[in-house]
Chain A
C-alpha cells in the first residue's frame, strides 16, 4: 500500500460547475477525514467517516458540499455550483482508530481553482 491517494491532483473549473474529488485511504484504515486548506492557513476540518458512516460535518460544509464513503472504502467529495471562494487545497486523511491514540496519514491533496 502506497498511502492515501487523491485524484485529481489539480482541478480548474468555471464558477457554477460541479466538481467531484476522490480519496482512496490506506486499505485497513477505518476512519477517513476531509480537510480544506487555503494559502497561509492550517487545514480546516470538513467532515469525517468511520467506515461508511459520516459522523460529523463542519459548519464550513454548506449545502453545496456532500461527501460519501460507500462500503467504507474510498470516499468522494462533491461541490455543487462552485464559487470562487471554494478555491483551496482539499486534503484527505485516514487513520486506524480514533485520533486520541493514533495518527492520521494525509494524501497529496487536490488543488481546486474556480475561475
Chain B
C-alpha cells in the first residue's frame, strides 16, 4: 500500500543554518505531495504542496520538489530561524485511495 518515510529526528540546527528533511514515498497512481507543520500546542497546518512531477512547492522560505524518478519530496530552507522549531510531516494524497498518508514526523529544533 501507499506509504511515506521521513528521516528520523530530532534535527537540531543553529539559526541561519541550511535545512534538509528527507521524505520518500511509495504510491500507486499519481499522488499529490504535501508538507504539514505542527507548532507546539497547535494543529496541523499546510506548509506547501506539489500536485505533479517536477512541481516545486514553496512557502515561507521552504521549498520541496516532487521528484518522480527518485520518489522523493525533500523539504529545504536556506536559513532557518528559531521560530521554525516545530514538527514537520510529509504526506501523500491520492485520488485512488481518497486519503492522506503521513510520515512519522521530524522534529526540528533551531537554537539561537
Give the B-binding residues of A (Cβ under 8 A). Answer: 31, 33, 35, 40-45, 48, 50, 55-56, 91, 93, 98-109
Q: What separation, in Å, do the CA atoms of A102 and B46 have in the docked complex?
A: 11
Q: CA separation between A57 and B64, bound complex, in Å?
A: 31
Task: Say yes or no: B43 contacts A103, CB within 8 Å.
Answer: no
Nearest CB of B to A102, in Å: 8
List residues of chain A with CB within 8 A of the CB of B51: 100-101
Q: Looking at the assembled complex, report how far the CB atom of A42 sits from the nearest CB atom of chain B, in whole angstroms.
A: 4
**B94 proximal to A (CB < 8 A):** yes
Contact of B43 (CB < 8 Å), options: A40, A42, A91: A91
With known contacts A41-B105, A42-B89, A43-B89, A100–B100 Cβ distance under 8 A: no
Q: Tell me how far the C-beta of B99 lies from the nearest C-beta in chain A, rounded to whole angstroms.
A: 5
Please pick, from A41, A99, A102, A106, the residue contacting B44 in the complex, using a CB distance under 8 A.
Answer: A106
Residues from chain A with a CB closer than 8 A to the CB of B91 are 42
B interface, size bucket: 20 to 34
Cα distance A114–B42 in the bound complex, in angstroms: 21
17 additional A-B pairs beyond A41-B104, A100-B94, A107-B43, beta carbons within 8 Å, are: A42-B91, A42-B103, A48-B98, A48-B99, A50-B98, A56-B97, A56-B99, A93-B100, A98-B93, A99-B94, A100-B30, A101-B32, A103-B34, A103-B93, A104-B46, A106-B36, A106-B43
